[in-house]
Structure 1
Amino acid sequence: MSRTVTDATPWYEDMSPGSGGLAPRSWYAASDAPRVSLNGDWAFRLSPDADAEDASFAQPGFDASAWRAVEVPGHWVLQGAGGAPAYTNVVYPFPVDPPRVPSENPTGDHLRTFTLPAGLPEGGESVLRFDGVESCARVWLNGQELGDFKGSRLPHEFAVGDLLRAGENVLALRVHAWSSGSYLEDQDQWWLPGIFRDVTLLHRPQGAPRDFFVHAGYDHRDGCGTLRVECDGAEGRVLLPELGIDAPAGEPVTLPVEPWTAETPRLYDAELVTPGERIPLRIGFRTVVVEDGVIKVNGRRLLFRGVNRHEFHPETGRAVDARTMRRDLVLMKQHNINAVRTSHYPPHPAFLDLCDELGLWVIDECDLETHGFVDLEWRNNPVDDERWTPALLDRAERMVERDKNHASVIIWSLGNECGSGRGLTAMAAWIRGRDPERLLHYEGDLSCEDVDLYSRMYPTHAEVELIGRRAEEPWADAELDARRRAMPFIMCEYAHAMGNGPGGLSEYQRLFERYERCQGGFVWEWIDHGFAHPEHVFAYGGDFGEELHDGNFVCDGLLFPDRTPSPGLVEYKKVIEPVRIGPGSSAGAFTVTNGYDFTGLGHLDFVWSHEVEGVLVDSGALAVPELAPGASAEVVPDAAGDGLWTVRAVLAEDTVWAGRGHVVAWGQAEVGAPAAPAPATGARPVRGEGVIALGPGVFDAATGAPVRLGDVAVEGLRLDVWRAPTDNDNGAPWQPDERYGLRWRELGLHRMRHRLDAVEAAEDALTVRTRVAPAGWDLGLRTTYRWTAAGDRLGLTVSVVPEGDWRVPLPRLGIRFGLPAAFGGARWFGGGPGEAYPDTRAAAMLGLWERDVDALQTPYVRPQENGARADVRWAELTDGSGAGLRAEGGAPFWFTARRWTSEQLDAAEHLPDQVAGEHVWVNLDHAVQGIGSQSCGPGVLPEHRLDAAPAEFSFVFSALG
């Protein structure tokens, strides 16, 4: 490609995509043609600015002995070689003056010497391939400039056969942190310059193909597949022994096949054989269309249970190795995820090989985002400036040509958050012309003029329902409105998984299953981008001294940075499970529904268990008839009785992503009413010197507060309404819903005052009357504690009556108290094993659970409210000897225990800021506020909001040991 360079415009500020490179082509992992990896240690020198004239380092004989080494693939800012990571979500970290970039432009010069291996074939060509360099590179081999390129997450190749030497060869790259390409790569992630993907020298023998394109469609009506492989630049044959295919390239062959789907990723091993090269192929037969306003693959409607995935590793950034890629995909499969959107750029090409193998639908997204222009009202947006169109087309072409032979890729995406413009239309036209067999996506232009499906980010549940009914608000352009209304609908981003959350997943999933048009979505996002840090454990925006940054908004994933699943991922697995198991029409019966899109249930075993008070009574296999997708049946375990019944669907055989017995889905039902706690009434309060004794409890006579229960000291028991606001409580400034975390703090709910009005010792109860209220406001909660006792049991009934005009919900409503730090063992009967909140409780399995208090904490990268257990009937805190305290609820309650107060948790910015104190602080809550997704999505649904209203709740306490 040509480029224009003037004295005033250095190459890295030129709008063109680069010069000197070869046309893009398919990527494949191996063939019989030799290849040499140039990964490893490279000599490296960092300069603070871009000196485009000094290329002396690229000349043979240059002495780089004083340079340091960096590892390739890698980012120099993560290897102690100078500079630091920087995180922004939307804003550019440099002045917006396209295509110009700052003079302060960190520049990394890289040198690699290599010797050609002996025995390389003579003749043919050699190609130098770079799979990913941020943000641009200028390349020399043996002192000869090859060219330059932009497009950080796309491949670039150069012909180098005439320049290679039999002895030592010197490869040199100059990499700039900023370039004109940076304006196209504002993708809500860390800015990380460097050579972060593979560098490879490829031998291209005479008679090898320049490129090839595998077309493998499937006709669901007759079960036949049609294979045609285009071979460019050489004569070739296609061999597929399993199907008996030996056909010339370019000729279609039709015959019965097993289709490829994400549920059944059937791949056929084949070869493209040319005079110069044999290339292994893995072929999946499938056809994707929009029919009757619905996305269909192989004739059936598709439901995306997806995630957005940035490439990230907490130590190596976007340099992600094959083991980590596989680990990601195995975790996705184990958590019922069936689709990936490659936000917001094509991934390492090996990742798509794994998607083909393991079975995931892929939206492959172009390396394009210009979000930083939004605050400028999209002035000078490159996608609507024809001078940038060649660069946009180059990015589209490099994506499609590289990834076109993957069965998993069913949708091309033009990019992300670029507004709208003529450049996007040109990209869409080119992609349609090159590959009409896939669908086209772009969310940013709501007119949907250039795409095949209607896509949105973070719509509310109510809006999704309107869209499902094709009753959304009309556009002014009747023709475009009719086109959009006829389209299938997906949410390319929803359920923002930042911190504690996301909430509301179950309600979204019910809409997807109710409305044919609503074909699921992609949770934002897969992993927290927190860097391993010696002081903070994990660092986020601002921790590296960035001038502009967006804080912990970069930590918004379903995995923690070390790839430990978060409660959000566990919840998502339950919500999207492909088999629905719920109570049947009669006691002890279950309804099983096949929620797969394509397969039956033959790959699953069903097992039941029967427990009473957490003790296993019996278990066995459950016979479930063969069910087609969407079909249901009622089944009954071959046993009966009151108690808790659980049915699990587990893998019947080992798979490449999980072993036999892996739980895919589960459901529970209770038969009979749970046992209520025995009443604790009848004992009389007895006054002593400064104290009041009531049954096993001892109270301060002046305040009415309990100080001991049996031998267990109790500290500061009182009504509690505060929680350390979650990221979703705090919300995002652009969200229309009220940001309750900010309102709570404005009201002073984190510093409530407790006024004592009366301590009354009657015949059968100790009653303490208080008012709990924030300073500066005329709001309050009139609160009465009524203590009773019988034998060794102490009862508490709390009555709360709001006073004033409460216009915001409460964070929580319950009691809090402290126990000595030794009481660090927790045991409870209720939801578990992990945390849950009103709108994140689908995965809370009822049962008997035991954990250390420390293990009850969820280590969100930015500390916040966490660790509540739902639907708790009773809970115990014990020391190592078995002594402790037991609390039973008059109704199921929420249980939290931690070694710091909510106020201390609220003050923490990183995990090490949470310091254990002398107490275990326990919350027993009558109700808690939901979580929502307002860090970038809708707030808490009304049914999960804890509005201030009169309430009464009770507990019975007893000492243990």
Structure 2
Amino acid sequence: MGPGTGALPPRAFFTSDAASLSLDGAWRFHLSPSAAAAPAGVEREDFDDSGWSTITVPGHWQLQGHGSPAYTNVQYPFPIEPPFVPSDNPTGDHRLTFDLPSGWPSDEPAALRFDGIDSCGRVWLNGAELGVTRGSRLPSEFEVGHLLRPRGNVLVVRVHQWSSGSYLEDQDMWWMSGIFRAVTLLSRPRGGVADFHLHASYDHVSGLGRLSITAAPEVLITVPELGVQDARSAEVPVEPWSAENPRLYDGFVHTAVERVPVRIGFRTVAIEDGVITINGSRVVFRGVNRHEHHPRLGRAVPRETALADVLLMKRHNVNAVRTSHYPPDPHFLQLCDEYGLWVIDECDLETHGFGDLGWEGNPSDDPRWTESYLDRMRRTVERDKNHPSVVMWSLGNEAHTGRNLAAMASWARDRDPSRPVHYEGDRECEYVDVYSRMYAPHEEVEEIGRREDTNARRRTLPFILCEFAHAMGNGPGGMLEYRELFERYRHVQGGFIWEWIDHGLEADGHYAYGGDFGEKIHDGNFVIDGLVFPDRTPSPGLVEFAKVFEPVRITGTAQSIRVESHYDHVSLDHLRFDWVYEVDGAEVASGSLDVPAMTAGEHAELQVPQLPAASGEGWLTVRASLATATTWADAGHVIAWGQIAIAEAAPVSPVTAVELVGVGDVLSLGPGEFDPASGLLTRIGEHPVQGPRLDLWRAPTDNDRGSDAPDDRAWREAGLHRLQHRVIEVGVREKALVVRTRVAPPALGFGMLADYHWTADGGRLRLQLDVTPDGEWPCTLPRLGLRLALPAELTTVEWFGAGPGEAYADSRQAVRTGRFKSTVDDLRTPYVFPQENGNRADARWLQITAGGRGLRVSGEPVFDFTARRWTTEDLDAARHPDELKPREHVHLNLDLAQNGLGTASCGPGVLPQYRLYAQKASFSLTFTPLS
């Protein structure tokens, strides 16, 4: 249960002008089913590995044809008997022969550095054992200078899948093994820079930056831009570093024999009156939790992929990252420094599986584990201490509480008093500086905001949600209401969405999740819970996040526009404001908006521009975009937007019921034909149709299936997925067709009375649907609307309403009112686990056509719709998107409403105002065939 053996003391991560050699690439590899079965003598230089396979380092052996990944969220995949692990412990032997580059300093010390080995590695060089590493996502360095030779160096690493360290690494992710981060040989010249700690604070009152270095006496700092030369300390005027303006000063730390380039950001983190401030200003963390994941490479994430993450975050108004639940690859923090992200740097620690045992035997309070806990904290802090982006240390995640965590906090605070200490598991806040919660419902956050907590210590601390708004599948819902709480209460300072990316692994034409590799113990698709899909395509949830947490708020009325800055530090000087005026979705005017200079937190009221008179529904859209290019986006990238209603739509021309109902083998009314027995529409114009009928079911979302009392279970127990329709009456009147039905589940006594009232005039067919609950309904409704099937050739969809993306009752801030066009296929959101998706909201009208022929649907005044090539039942049954096969129809839902999304996959359910209950309702639509 110790931290390992033989490693050098931890130190800062840096590169220098000293010689170095990357040992990444192709290694010889052999996998054994257990340590006992592993070949003997692999450390010998003359060992014959010619029959072994080849593996890429960095990499996981399970993703290179050796064994399989396995996913669990909480459960350990082995018996809990700390510190012991099973004898059947897959063991991977790695061997590499390498030569030193010409000019390598042969008489100098050298360090062999491993940035990540999962979970335990035993290391030999040229037959000599160097030591053992534990702490999978933390660096280990070994002194090897005395062992090196110019040619034919033999490096051997035996990696065990399980070790005592595995008990501390139960972090809701794929269990995958190997040397998954870089391996580097570093020359360490005598008299060089062994280690250093830069201190770069900023006084927001004086504007002075204070720079100093803690290192050996011969180590100095030079920053040419600041006029700092060969110094140990300096005080100079500087521009501060922040996530909004990541100003870095290039310099170098040096001795007579070694030079280390550094990028220095001046900033000061403090807690003042229970509020986190940075550079004297309150900050709000609009953050995400980020596991390291690649759909083919697992946690061996390439640097270009890490950069893609940072760019996507910046472009979607993310300003903070919690490195869940381990320190990231060190190059990711360099990107955060450069592009500007606040970072909570989390230690490589989680013991969540002990929770299933009531935390009995949990290492967090066991003194035998103290040194392992402290070693992990030391390696985290020492590696990352020089990054301005790191503004908080986190002890780990879901390891309950105990003396070892308290010791970690004490050590970190003593070692680096410039950063607060975070750990959500310290519920009493005995040894942390910040009160943190996961998935606290809105009402609890409201109570914390009002400082109504019964714990006096917690009432004095800043509050953050280290995890909230679980982004699993379709959702999360309710982000807007969280943002309002962050803005209402000064010490409620934001949070971190769980999480950034779906951890799908490429397999068999889809993305695999737990159970897809035959795991006996797994947690299914709970690993598919991100704001971006596995290929890093933004999900609708990320687009919603960008809108909800935009740093500029644009609202208004027909007379005035209000522009509010929600930046923490910078002014609006980097933005330009433009407007466009649309009537019935067509642009009629545009221009630029003159917004006065505003510092962070200010607002201004502006006059609406002179707009041309036009007949129809008028919307003014104002956009704030980058005036010039930045390192992370081009000029014109939209940071924020707002839409203001200017003119109301003209009333819909009513259907005046002039057509008579024709009676015969079919019932005819205007452009429609109906089945006389069922009263269902069978044709409209030249197009055969099936329906429409009342529909109450949707393919449940991950959030519907979540929580202790899931909506999905209640809906299925109520039989809403297998409703049956009884025709009570098909009534033919002179100018109306009235179809009365009762819709109900089998074996139960409640239902819904649904009356269809059809009229027609001038080639239009109008339906008024009246629904009335019959009996005592036990649950909410998934949806309330109509379902019909149309010819498969109708593939082009155009609508005037909310778009362009999907929207639901509690996740719809990212859509605007306009005129949009798509195909049926492109309306789909391909969630890794199939579920309800693709809803378009507030349509005034919809056209679904092929070559201009098809169907137009108009609302009175609006409706929601989805269109897809398979049924809701197909979607409900599928477990991967490739199981969904197009049918012979386009299936169209026309809805009055759907239940909200919530975040009950892990968190609170749908807020009361977004729940859909069974109640009396009316819904009117007009259908017009297009030819």
Relative to the length of structure 1, the TM-score reads 0.96
Structure 2 residue aligned with 1:936: 906
Contact 1:128-1:158 within 8 A present in 2 as well: yes
Q: Take 1:126 and 1:793, find their aligned partners in 2: how far apart are those partners?
A: 83
Matches of 1:492 and 1:914 in 2, distance apart?
A: 36
Between the aligned partners of 1:867 and 1:958, the Cα distance in structure 2 is 23
SS at match of 1:958: strand
Q: In the alignment, does 2:150 pair up with 1:166?
A: yes
Classify 1:626/1:444 alpha carbon distance in 2 versus 1 (closer, same or farther; 3 Å): same
| 51-60 or 111-120, which deviates more | 51-60
Equivalent in the alignment of 1:854: 825
- Give distance in 2, aligned partners of 1:639 and 1:248: 60
* 2:691 aligned to which of 716, 722, 730: 716
SS class of match (1:519):
strand
Q: Distance in 1 between matches of 2:9 and 2:414?
A: 17
Q: Distance in 2 between matches of 1:623 and 1:125?
A: 63
> 1:458-483: CA deviations, max 9, x gaps?
011011011011113x1xxxxxx222
Q: Which amino acid aligns with 2:45?
A: P
**Residue 247 (structure 1) shift:** 3.8
Within-5 A mapping of 1:436-451: 436-451=417-432
1:25 paired residue number: 11
CA contact (8 A) 2:792 2:888 kept: yes
| Structure-2 separation of matches of 1:248 and 1:180 | 45
Q: CA deviation at 1:53?
A: 8.4
Q: Write the mapping of 1:534-573 to structure 2, written as runs, cut at 5 A.
A: 534-535=508-509, 537-573=510-546
- The 5-angstrom pairing of residues 567-586 of structure 1 reads 567-584=540-557
Displacement, 1:588? 4.3
1:653 matches 2:656: no
Q: CA deviation at 1:891?
A: 2.0
Amino acid at match of 2:667: I
Alignment of 1:132-171 (within 5 A): 132-171=116-155
Quote the residue 1:958 is aligned against: 928
Question: Quick one: distance in 2 between partners of 1:87 and 1:675?
Answer: 56
CA apart distance, 1:276? 1.9
Whether 1:678 aligns to 2:653 is: yes
What do residues 755-805 of structure 1 show as CA deviations (whole Å, max 9, x unaligned)? 000011112211000000011111110110000101111100000000111
Letter in 1 for 2:890: V
Deviation track 1:383-413 (CA, whole Å, cap 9, x = no partner) reads 1100001000000000000000000000000
**SS of residue matched to 2:398:** coil
The yes-or-no answer on 1:301 pairing with 2:286 is no
Deviates more, 1:681-690 or 1:566-575: 681-690
Which of 467, 479, 493 aligns to 1:493? It is 467
Q: Distance in 2 between matches of 1:862 and 1:606?
A: 39
Matched position secondary structure for 1:183: helix
Q: Does structure 2 conserve the Cα–Cα contact (< 8 Å) formed by 1:123 and 1:206?
A: no
Structure 2 contact 400–426 (Cα < 8 Å) conserved:
yes
- Inter-partner Cα distance in structure 2 for 1:677 and 1:138: 76
Q: 1:876 pairs with 847, 852, 860, which one?
A: 847
Q: How much has 1:51 moved relative to structure 2?
A: 2.5
Query: Which of 49, 58, 63 in structure 1 is aligned with 2:34?
Result: 49
Rounded Cα–Cα distance in structure 2 between residues aligned with 1:502 and 1:238: 47
Name the % identity: 58
From 923, 927, 941, the counterpart of 2:897: 927
Return the alpha-carbon distance in structure 1 between the equivalents of residues 78 and 538 of structure 2.
35
Quick check: 666-675 or 365-374, which moved more? 666-675
Task: Name the amino acid aligned to 1:580.
Answer: R
Q: Match for residue 221 of structure 2?
A: 238
SS of 1:590's equivalent in the other structure is: strand
Q: After TM superposition, give the deviation of residue 673 of structure 1 in Å.
A: 1.4
Listed as ranges, the matches of 1:655-804 within 5 Å are 655-732=630-707, 735=708, 738-804=709-775
Give the CA deviation at 1:121: 2.5
Please give the root-mean-square deviation of Cα atoms over the aligned residues, in Å: 1.0
Q: Does 1:910 align with 2:880?
A: yes
Indicate if the aligned counterparts of 2:798 and 2:820 stay in contact, CA closer than 8 A.
Answer: yes
Contact kept, 8 Å, 1:816 with 1:923, in 2: the verdict is: yes
What does the per-residue CA deviation read over 1:246-294, in whole Å, with 9 as the maximum and x for residues that have no partner?
1433xx3111110000000000001111022100010000000110110
Deviations 1:847-880 (A, max 9, x none): 111011000010000000000011111111111x
Q: Distance in 2 between matches of 1:35 and 1:366?
A: 27
* Correspondence for 1:334 among 302, 311, 315: 315
- Alpha-carbon distance in structure 1 between the residues aligned to 2:766 and 2:691: 17
The answer to whether the Cα contact below 8 Å between 2:193 and 2:254 also exists between their aligned partners in 1 is no
Give a deviation string over 1:126-149, Cα, whole Å, max 9, x none. Answer: 100000000000000001100101
Superposition deviation, residue 688 in structure 1: 3.9
Q: Secondary structure at the match of 2:42?
A: helix
**Pairing 1:72–2:53 present:** no
Q: Is the 8 A contact 1:681 1:764 kept in 2?
A: no
Quick one: distance in 2 between partners of 1:767 and 1:667?
44
Q: Deviations over 1:297-322 (max 9, x none)?
A: 00000000000000000000000011
1:522-533 matches, within 5 Å, as 522-533=496-507
Deviations 1:183-219 (A, max 9, x none): 0000000000010000000001111121100000000
Q: Distance in 1 between matches of 2:39 and 2:84?
A: 20
Equivalent position amino acid for 1:601 in 2: L
Distance in 2 (CA, whole Å) between partners of 1:35 and 1:863 is 48
Residue 218 of structure 1 contacts residue 225 of structure 1 at CA under 8 Å; is this kept in 2? yes
Deviations 1:352-400 (A, max 9, x none): 0000000000000000000000010000101110000100000000000
Partner of 1:627: 598
What's the secondary structure of 1:835's corresponding residue?
Answer: coil
SS in 1 for 2:541: helix
**AA matched with 1:636:** Q
Say if 1:238 and 1:247, in contact at 8 Å, map to a contact too: yes
2:426–2:432 contact (8 Å) kept in structure 1: no
Partner in structure 1 of residue 396 of structure 2: 415
Q: Give the letter for the 2:316 counterpart.
A: H
Distance between the aligned counterparts of 1:255 and 1:275, measured in 2?
25
In 1, Cα distance between the equivalents of 2:21 and 2:628?
39
Q: CA deviation at 1:671?
A: 1.3
**Aligned counterpart for 1:820 among listed residues 791, 810, 833:** 791
| SS of match in other structure, 2:382 | helix
Report the 3-state secondary structure (helix = DSSP H, G, I; strand = E; otherwise coil) of the residue aligned with 2:71: strand
SS of residue in 2 equivalent to 1:800: strand
Residue 674 of structure 1: CA displacement?
1.7
What code does the residue aligned with 2:5 have? S
Q: In structure 2, list runs of 5 or more residues that go unmatched.
A: none
Give TM-score, length-normalised by structure 2: 0.99
1:183 to 162, 167, 175: 167
SS at match of 1:917: coil
Contact 1:588 1:669 in 2 (8 A): no
What letter is aligned with 1:101? V
Residue segments in structure 1 that go unaligned for 5+ positions in a row? 1-14, 475-480
Q: Which amino acid in 2 is paired with 1:293? A: G
Distance 1:126 1:800 in 2: 79
Give the whole-Å Cα distance in 2 for the aligned partners of 1:579 and 1:335. 13
| 1:122, distance to aligned residue in structure 2 (A) | 4.2
Partner of 2:343: helix, strand, or coil?
Answer: strand
Between 677-686 and 834-843, the greater mean CA deviation after superposition: 677-686
- Write the distance in 1 (CA, Å) between the matches of 2:324 and 2:572: 32
* Pair 1:529–1:53, CA change in 2 (3 A): closer
Distance in 2, Cα, partners of 1:526 & 1:69: 32
Runs of 4+ aligned residues of structure 1 deviating over 4 Å after TM superposition are: 52-55
Query: How far 1:125 sits from its partner (Å)?
Result: 0.7
> 1:55 Cα shift?
4.3
AA aligned opposite 2:221: V
